[in-house]
DNA sequence: GAATTAATTGAACGTTTGTTTTATTAATTA
DNA sequence: TAATTAATAAAACAAACGTTCAATTAATTC
C-alpha cells in the first residue's frame, strides 16, 4: 500500500497533535508508543515521522504550542495600564479560562517536562518563567502602591500559580459550577492572598465580567 | 553466582524502595526499567522479584507507604479539640513539613497515579480523600463558628491543598528561606484564604512554633 | 496525458522491556 | 557438622520499543 485516498498532510498533522495530547495526558509520554498513537490517528507508525523527526520533538512541539498560546492569550487581554487589583483579576481569569479549556495539554506541559532533553527543557522553562514574571510584576506593583499587602511577592506568586493551575485537577464544568463561577471564586482567593481588603476585593472581582468571557 | 556475602533481605528491600523513589521521581515510572533500578541498588534485575511480584506492585507499595505515613503524621500532631484556626495552622505546618521532607515520594504519589490499575488507583485515592476530608472538616467548623469567612468550603479546601503541596515544586531549603520561614508564610496564606481577620491571623500563626518542629 | 511531488504502507533493524526459571552460594538452624 | 532456608546470579523468553528504508499510490503541476 501507499498514499491513501483523500490523504492531506495538514489534516493528518492536526490529527496527530490532537491524539498525542489526549493519549499523553491520559497515559503519560513514556507509556504511549508511536504505534499506539498511529493507531489512534488511523495510520501506520512510519507515517508519523513525516511530521515529527522523533518522539521527543513531537512532545516538545506540543509543549511549545501550549506555552506560546498561553502567553499570547494573556497579551491579548492584559489591561496593562489598569490598577494592580484589576490586572490581578484579569490574570487569574485568563489563566483559569485557558487551562480549563486545555486541560489535556496543560497536563502534558506540566507533567512531562522530565522527558525533554536539557536544551528543550530550558526553552520551555524560559517561556514559563516569562509568563510567571507577569504575575510577579503585578504583585510588586500592588505592594508598592499599597493596594496589596504582601510579605514575599516571589513566594506569593508561586503559591498563587500553583493554586489557580490546580483547578484542572478537580474541576469539571457541570450543572453545579460553571467556569464563570469557579473563576469568580478563584478571583476572590487571589485577592485575599494579595491582601486586598474585603470591600475593595469585591469591587474588583465582581466588576470583572469582561475577563470571564 | 548466587547469594552474595553479607546479603540481607531487609536491607535490600529498603535499598530498593529508596532507589525506586529517587529514580521514579526523576525519570518517571514508565521510564525507569527494572534493570536500571537493580543496577542502582547493585543487584541483578531478577533479585527485585523476591521483594515485589511485579513493577506495578512496587509502585503501589511506595505510594501506600507515602499516604499511610502522611495520614499517620497528621493523626500524631492533630489538635482535635483546638479552635479551627489553630487546627488549620497545624494542618498546614504538618503538610508542608511532611512533603518537604519527602519531596521525591510526594512526586511519585502525585504524578504516577495513571500507572496504577483501576483497583489500586481507587485504593490510593481513598487514602487521599480521607486525608483531605480532615481539612474540609476544619474549614466547615470554622465557617460555622464564624471564625472563618468561606463561601465554598469544598473548593477552598482543594485550592489550599494545591497551594501548599505546590511548595515542593519550587522550594529548596537554603540560606535564604528555612522550612520554618516557608511554613509561617504559607500559614499566613491559608489563614487569608480562610478569611481570618488580620489580627486573629497573626495571633494564630505566630503562636504555632510547636507545629513547625 | 506525462512528470513530479506528497502521503503513506509494510517490512525490517537492533535494542530493550518485564518476567520466569534454574542453579548456586551464604547464612541459619538442628 | 549436616540439613535447611534465604538471597542472589545468570541466562533465557517472547513481546514491544523507536526508527529507517524502499516501494507504491494519490494528488498536483506542467
B14: cell is 529498603
User: Å from A3 (CA) to C5 (C1')?
Assistant: 12
Indicate if the pLDDT at residue A126 is higher than 60.
yes
pLDDT at B4: 76
pLDDT at B196: 94
Chain A contact present for B166, CB below 8 A: yes
pLDDT at A168: 96
> What average pLDDT does range A102-121 have in this prediction?
97
Counting one residue from chain A and one from chain B, the pairs whose CB atoms sit within 8 A come to 79
pLDDT at A36: 98
Chain A contact present for B94, CB below 8 A: no
More confident residue, B175 or A99: A99
More confident residue, B212 or A105: A105
Using CB atoms, which residue from B26, B111, B155 is nearest to A185? B155
Assess whether B122 (CB) lies less than 7 A from strand C. Answer: no
What confidence tens digit (pLDDT) does each residue in A142-184 have? Answer: 999 999 999 999 999 999 999 999 999 999 988 789 999 999 9
**How many whole angstroms separate alpha carbon B94 and alpha carbon B105?**
16
pLDDT at B96: 98
Are A107 and A167 a contacting pair, CB within 8 Å?
Answer: no
pLDDT at B175: 74
pLDDT at A205: 59
Low-confidence ranges of chain B (pLDDT < 50): 213
The interface residues of chain B toward chain A in range 3-62, judged by CB-CB distance below 8 A, are 26-31
pLDDT at A199: 65
Chain A contact present for B190, CB below 8 A: no
pLDDT at B3: 64
Indicate if the pLDDT at residue A209 is higher than 60.
no
Longest Cα separation, chain A: 70
Question: Nearest nt to A49, CA vs C1'?
Answer: D19
What confidence tens digit (pLDDT) does each residue in A37-83 have? Answer: 999 999 999 999 999 999 999 999 999 999 999 999 999 999 999 99
* Percentage of chain A lying above the pLDDT 70 cut: 91
Amino acid at each position: 500500500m501507499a498514499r491513501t485516498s483523500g490523504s492531506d498532510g495538514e489534516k493528518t498533522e492536526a490529527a496527530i497533535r490532537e491524539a498525542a495530547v489526549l493519549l499523553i495526558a491520559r497515559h503519560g509520554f513514556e507509556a504511549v508508543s508511536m504505534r499506539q498513537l498511529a493507531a489512534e490517528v488511523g495510520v501506520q507508525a512510519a507515517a508519523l515521522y513525516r511530521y515529527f523527526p522523533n518522539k521527543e520533538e513531537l512532545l516538545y512541539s506540543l509543549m511549545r504550542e501550549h506555552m506560546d498560546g498561553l502567553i499570547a492569550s494573556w497579551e491579548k487581554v492584559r489591561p496593562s495600564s489598569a490598577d494592580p487589583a484589576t490586572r490581578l483579576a484579569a490574570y487569574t481569569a485568563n489563566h483559569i479560562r485557558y487551562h480549563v479549556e486545555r486541560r489535556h495539554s496543560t497536563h502534558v506541559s506540566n507533567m512531562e517536562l522530565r522527558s525533554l532533553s536539557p536544551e528543550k527543557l530550558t526553552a520551555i522553562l524560559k517561556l514559563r518563567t516569562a509568563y510567571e514574571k507577569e504575575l510577579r510584576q503585578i504583585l510588586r506593583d500592588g505592594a508598592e502602591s499599597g493596594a496589596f499587602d504582601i510579605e514575599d511577592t516571589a513566594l506569593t506568586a508561586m503559591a498563587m500559580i500553583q493554586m489557580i493551575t490546580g483547578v484542572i485537577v478537580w474541576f469539571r464544568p457541570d450543572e453545579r459550577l460553571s467556569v464563570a463561577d469557579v473563576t469568580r471564586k478563584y478571583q476572590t482567593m487571589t485577592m485575599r492572598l494579595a491582601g486586598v481588603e474585603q470591600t475593595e476585593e469585591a469591587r474588583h472581582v465582581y466588576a470583572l465580567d469582561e475577563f470571564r468571557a
